[in-house]
Each structure stands twice: as C-alpha cells, then as structure tokens.
Amino acid sequence: MKSIFTFFIIIFLLSSCSPNDKKEEKQEQYVILISLDGFSHEYAKKYNATNLLTLAKEGIEAKALIPPYPSKTFPSHYTIATGLYPEHHGIVGNNFYDPNFEEYYSTSNRNTVEDGKWYGGTPIWCLAKNYNVRSATYFWIGSEAEINGCRPNFYNNYDKTVSIKERMDKAIEWLQLPKNERPQLISLYFSLVDDSGHKFGPNSKETEESVKQIDIALGDLFSELDSIDLPINIIVVSDHGMYPLDQSKKVFLEDLLDWSKLDANPTDAFATIYTSSSTERDSLFTILKNKEEGRYITYKKSEVPKNLHYSNNDRIGDIVLIANAPHFFIKKSKKDYWGTHGFDPYKYSEMHGIFYAKGSALKQNQQIPAFESIHIYLLIAEILQLPYDSSKIDGKPHVLKHLLKDQF
C-alpha cells in the first residue's frame, strides 16, 4: 500500500512540474540576429566565406532573401524588424517627405532618425518587451528611437567608427550578464560589405576582401557563442544585394526636370515627387512619360504595381519613377560609383540578400526556397515564444514555422 501511495505522489509531482519546466525552457531561448548590409545572395559562395557557408550547411540556408520594395537599407531593415512592408511601417525610403508633418525624414538627420513618430508597427524588440523579454541592439534601424513609448533594454546611437570586433564583443558581454539582466534578443548591424559594394562594385577585389574580413570576424563570434552554455539561435541576414553599375546607363536627373522647384526625393534606383495639385501632377507625369525611352517607368502612385506594395502611404510620392536596371538616376555633379540597390527585388535577383540560421530551436541541414523578409519577424517571435496578432503583420507564420524543431 505504501509503495502504491509513493507511486502516485511521484506521478503527481512529475505532472505538476513538467509544464512549467517546458515553459521555462522555451522562455530561455536566445536569438542573435545579424545583418550584413549589402551582402548579395551570391557572395558567400562566390568569395568563399567559409564560416557563413559552414553555418548554412549545418543549419538553414535560403536560396535567397527577397527584400521589400524599395530595396534600400532603412526600409529593408525596418521591414525585418516589424514584419511589415514599407507602405505599412512608414519608412518608405532612406529619405522621404511626410506631407502631414510637412517634414523630410533623412538618414543623415539625427533628429528624424531618433524620433519615434516616424516609425510604425511594433518592432520585434518592443514585442519582446511587452512580454518581459529583454532585448539589445547594436545599430539596428529604428532602435535609436522611442517607438510608442518603447526602446530596447540596451541600444546604441549609430557610430560608424565602432569596430566590428567591438560590436561582437558587446554581444558576448550581454550574454554573460546575470539572467535577470541578460537580453534574449540581440541584433547587430555591419555596413562593411555594403560600403565596398557601392564604392567599387559587387564584382571588385575590394568587395571580396570585405566579405572575407566580415566572415573571419563572424567565425570568431560563432566560436565564442559555441562556448556559452545557453540555447542560442543565430540568424544572419542581409537587407538587400548589390547591382553593378554601367556608367553608360546614367539617366541625368537634370535632363528630366528642374528638381529644385519640386518637393521630391530623387535617388539612383527610383524617384518620387509630391504635389497637392492634380493639374501639376498630370503635367509632370506627361513630361516624364515622354522622356522614358525605356530607361525608367513613370507611375502615378495609385498605379504602382500591386506586387511592390508601394502605394498605400502618404509618404510615397504622387509620382513614382522606377528605374529599369542597368539604367540609374544620377546628378551630373555626382562622382562615379560602381554599385547600388533599390531596384525592384521581384524583377532583379541582384537585389536579393541572404538568410542563414542555426540554433537550438531550429532544424538542421535545411535548404529552403527564396522567401520575403517580412516573414523573419514571426520566426523570431516563435523562437522566443512571443504572442503576436498575425492580422497586424504582413508576414505569414506558415512560411518559416516548419523550420522549428517540434520540441525546443
């Protein structure tokens, strides 16, 4: 009789502890999200980035990561952070005009970059904070601003002079904090490869050297992470790829319009024009349409192709010019450079980036098709067990959820 009583006591204790143990285990997952700005989906194999290739082989490798339109740094990074297309999160370019604020947002203007009023959606670090999950960022787009009263627990204002090693060392330092202070979500940003791709082109020796330099640094980081006794998940992405420029394909902006008289945002891959006058809009549209010559396409905002998700926001210009690569817009005074991005990612595979992942919550040896970066948000939320409202996110749970282990 005593033995039967003891048996039931043991069963009771196991059944009462087991769910809590599982819940605790899931809550302790860690995600290290790493962005390599401008790292083309071809670079790792092309330039033999051995550490990234090993991560991809042992973990998960996507054929490519498809950025949102426009495939520029700020819109793309904030899409990864929110799971929203730019027309929904509001960062519709690196620079743009808001007719309601009657102000310009600019990546070079610290006042706008650090002002939360510009940023829509719920960044992943804010979703984490809503459920008492700590986060830390090193230069991720949007993390310098207080968005709806929220900031990451740790963040840094952008300083390009901070070395790669210093950023990576900080990630290790964060992971070594006491448990009640330790962030479970860490995001890191590196611009080295993008800088080389712009200045020298994606096929240059300089870009190859930058790829190898960041790969060596990542190898050191991966080794240090392996020595930390925590359930860590590494996700390496890039915001976009890089298109090699042919200087004979320049479209000089001055030959199209007198931009100084317009509220406009001309860039190399696209240009937008703002006007409250339908008469002026129609006049400008006709002028630009007549000068296309196959080099670009002129759209009224409402006519931008639906697959680009680039019409449902006041910050998108009333007229949108989209360059047909290899043609690109440029001012006559600007010096030559040899690579750019921002083109239609559904049309040009050169705009595609990378997605490699490996970790305790993820399946191994997985090769998956190319997918849009809007879905990464939900994968991170699933790993960290963060509840979310899928109706408020453009990403879809089913796209990446199959990459999770059944039990983690």
Q: Is 73 a catalytic residue?
A: yes
Listed residue (211, 216, 225) closest to 171, CA to CA: 225
Q: Which two structure tokens, joined as six digits, stand for 379?
A: 């994968």
Closest CA to 114 of 144, 141, 137: 144
Q: Do 192 and 49 contact (CB within 8 A), yes or no?
A: no
**Tokens read off for 391:** 């109706």
CA 296 – CA 149 distance, rounded (Å): 41
- Measured CA to CA, the distance from residue 275 to residue 263 in angstroms comes to 7
Q: Which residue has the tokens 């979703």?
A: 127
Is-contact 129 150, C-beta < 8 A? yes
**CA–CA distance, 308 with 305 (Å, rounded to integer):** 6
The three-state secondary structure class of 31 is: strand
Residue 336 DSSP class:
P
Catalytic residue among 54, 73, 122, 279: 73
Cα torsion 280, 286, 290, 293: sign = positive
Helix spans in 249-388 (H):
278-290, 376-383
Q: How far is CA 236 from CA 36, 65, 132, 201, 353, in A?
A: 7, 11, 25, 22, 10
Catalytic positions are 73
